[in-house]
Structure 1
Amino acid sequence: MTEAIIAVEHVSKRVQDSSGELTILHDIDFSLAAQESAAIVGASGSGKSTLLAIIAGLDTPSEGTVRLAGIDLFGLDEDARAAVRAERVGFVFQSFQLMGNLTALENVMLPLELQGRGDARAAATEMLVRVGLGERLGHYPKLLSGGEQQRVALARAFVVKPALLLADEPTGSLDFATGEKVMELMFELNREQGTTLVLVTHDRAIAARCDRQVRIEAGQLTSS
């Protein structure tokens, strides 16, 4: 049996609000093999983005844990979790999350430089050419269209060749045609690099392209 690259083990998340304790996630338990793709689906407010943040180690569960390639993320302190993310995880967000004061090339170089890579400029240039932005290397995000900004975000995520790519509504800010092109590119890059992909989406067509669908309803896992 293929070893799980991600194992979500009985994860629950509770928070306090003015009315008392609110359960956002309850006993979520599933695993994904290397190179598998999964869509986390469910209604707004069902806990999808919270689950993705916990898988990334950006939010902490009230109970349970997440193992990334066998590493217990919540057995580590915040600095160690950040180091694991930097080495093994790529992110793509609905709002792109590009650094506005950096060019497209500098945005893609950033995670490589944080790793101390001496070939950051060459590797970032190659990846931007791969996503069709070879003529936009020196452009700042404000000079790029939404689709171009998301392609820069894809280049930044994949340039480190992550074991795991996490995407939160990656086409949510794009029109349909542009979103289709971005998703096709994401799946192409995912196949090329053999990355495990976990994405949150409301789009049934995008979810259907994944190997599995992890459905969350009112904070509970109903299918995986």
Structure 2
Amino acid sequence: MSDPIIEVQGVRKEVSDATGTLTILHDIGFTLAARESAAIVGASGSGKSTLLGILAGLDVPTSGRVLLAGTDLFALDEDARADVRARQLGFVFQSFQLLGNLTALENVMLPLELAGHSDARRQATEMLQRVGLGERLGHYPKLLSGGEQQRVALARAFVMRPAVLLADEPTGSLDFATGETVMDLMFELNREAGTTLVLVTHDRGIAARCDRQLRIEAGRLLP
């Protein structure tokens, strides 16, 4: 059996203010294998998005470790974590997070160019064609529908062939039918790329499509 792509070991997150200390995550631990898909589910305020942020190395736990392909994220400084994110992680957000002053093609080219790919335009064009937006290459985000913007976001995430894709409520701002289409595409791309998928969702139907469900309740991972 291959080594896990993600190992979460005793992750705890606390925040303090004038009223005292609040524990958001209580000693979370689990592992995910390469190509596995997992849905993080739970009520609002349960700690789902905090956990996703820690998996991405964007938020720092109070204690515990996260290993990504054997690398301890929090043994690295922020610059080194950013380098790991650029090489190993893809992101899809509820709000798309596209750059409004760039066309669809330029948004997808950007991570390739930052990584020094000489054929960024070709790769980005092919990926946008793969998600059904070959006729929208020169369109700016404001001229695209919500579903089209999320498909651009998927193209941008998968064009780097990340080891892990992290998605936070990827259909949260889409209507049901559009959301279903986007999720079908996400799972197709995930299978093709052999990516490990971790998504936060409140949608039971989406969660049921994943290999595993990680249920968080009041900051605790349920057995």
State the TM bucket, normalised to the shorter chain: over 0.9
> For 1:80-104, what per-residue CA distance to the aligned partner results, in whole angstroms no more than 9, with x for missing partners?
0000000010000000000000000
Name the residue aligned to 1:73: 73
> Stretches of 4+ moved more than 3 A in 1?
none
Once the two structures are TM-superposed, the CA of residue 65 in structure 1 deviates from its matched residue by: 1.1
Q: Percent identity?
A: 79
User: Is there any run of 5+ residues in structure 2 with no aligned partner, and where?
Assistant: none
Name the residue aligned to 1:57: 57
> For 1:165-207, what per-residue CA distance to the aligned partner results, in whole angstroms no more than 9, with x for missing partners?
0000000000000000000000000000000000000000000
1:4 is paired with a residue whose SS is: coil
2:57 is paired with a residue whose SS is: coil
Name the residue aligned to 1:48: 48
Name the residue aligned to 2:14: 14
Q: Does the alignment pair 1:119 with 2:139?
A: no
Name the residue aligned to 2:31: 31
Name the residue aligned to 1:92: 92
Once the two structures are TM-superposed, the CA of residue 11 in structure 1 deviates from its matched residue by: 0.1
Once the two structures are TM-superposed, the CA of residue 17 in structure 1 deviates from its matched residue by: 2.8
Structure-1-length-normalised TM-score? 0.99
> For 1:95-153, what per-residue CA distance to the aligned partner results, in whole angstroms no more than 9, with x for missing partners?
00000000000000011011000010000000000000000000000000000000000
> What is the 5 A alignment of 1:152-167?
152-167=152-167
- Rounded to whole Å, the distance in 1 between the matches of 2:71 and 2:183 is 29
Name the residue aligned to 1:140: 140
- Rounded to whole Å, the distance in 1 between the matches of 2:193 and 2:182 is 17
Structure-2-length-normalised TM-score? 0.99
- Rounded to whole Å, the distance in 1 between the matches of 2:119 and 2:6 is 29
Name the residue aligned to 2:131: 131
- Rounded to whole Å, the distance in 2 between the matches of 1:17 and 1:51 is 20
Give the number of aligned pairs.
Answer: 223
Once the two structures are TM-superposed, the CA of residue 2 in structure 1 deviates from its matched residue by: 2.2
2:222 is paired with a residue whose SS is: strand
Q: CA RMSD in A?
A: 0.5
